[in-house]
Structure 1
């Protein structure tokens, strides 16, 4: 794992680390999509180390809020970033050129049912991922707190 200039540990997955560096180093003018779908940088605290970590995630919108999906490609386990958000919901985001703090909250089943069709329209693989696992894939709302 590598750290950026601010000491944030960047994802150990090569393509994610490259994209995260491009996104951050360009000030949010490059690396802002994955296959044409919008993505953001999520900085979160590791639940064991307290170290800030960074990943790149596709996002949707619900009003002023951002929505991210803890799909992990349809795996039967939650992604590590999601487990960390459950422990500490205070996060930092970069969405294009804007950087700000937010609070993460997992959507209720009712709210997920309302937004899920739009997320699948944005990124159709989400439906495939849900079909591959018995796990109910969480959708997380990111609500701006400051910045």
Structure 2
């Protein structure tokens, strides 16, 4: 039992994770979007702001997420801070796949879908190159972490 506990990845307490989310979103909001988003670089993920339609309320809901690029597509993980349960933004996208993404250099409209099979394995391996503890963190969850692909659309941004 002690070996198992020692091999588990250390995560900050849940209250700290939530505080970090609220702080990041607050900085983005206070600076009018000038601070808080960045492009991915070599072996480093970037951040984007996703605005999706709430599955119950029909209102727009925004969240800031980490992502990598796969050709024209943006790829993120539905990890909920490595806590159990699906993140609300992913549940909203499953109900309404069309969304708006604000990147550091431009906005775009996207359609969301879950990667499956070989595509999921390939993208998971790319994330693993960036986060060497990815598998250990994912093991903390009782269900598989969805790899979410945000496919840019040619529709003009509203």
TM-score of the aligned structures, taking structure 2 as reference length: 0.74
1:73 aligns with 2:47: no
Aligned residues: 133
CA distance in structure 1 between the partners assigned to 2:81 and 2:21 by the alignment = 14
In terms of Rg, which structure is larger?
2
Determine if contact 1:71/1:126 at 8 Å carries over to the other structure. Answer: no
**1:30-69 alignment, distance < 5 Å:** 30-33=35-38, 37-69=45-77
Q: Does the aligned pair in 1 maintain the 2:28–2:34 contact within 8 Å?
A: yes
> Quick one: which of 90, 102, 110 aligns to 1:82?
90
TM-score with structure 1 setting the length: 0.79
Unpaired runs of at least 5, structure 1: 1-12
- Structure 2, gaps ≥5 residues long: 1-17, 39-43
Residue matched to 1:137 = 145
- Supply the distance in 1 between the matched residues of 2:69 and 2:62 (Cα, whole angstroms): 20
Partner residue, 1:97: 105
Distance 1:96 1:26, change over 3 A: farther
Counterpart of 1:15?
20
- Pairwise CA distance, 1:32: 1.8
Greater per-residue strand proportion? 1
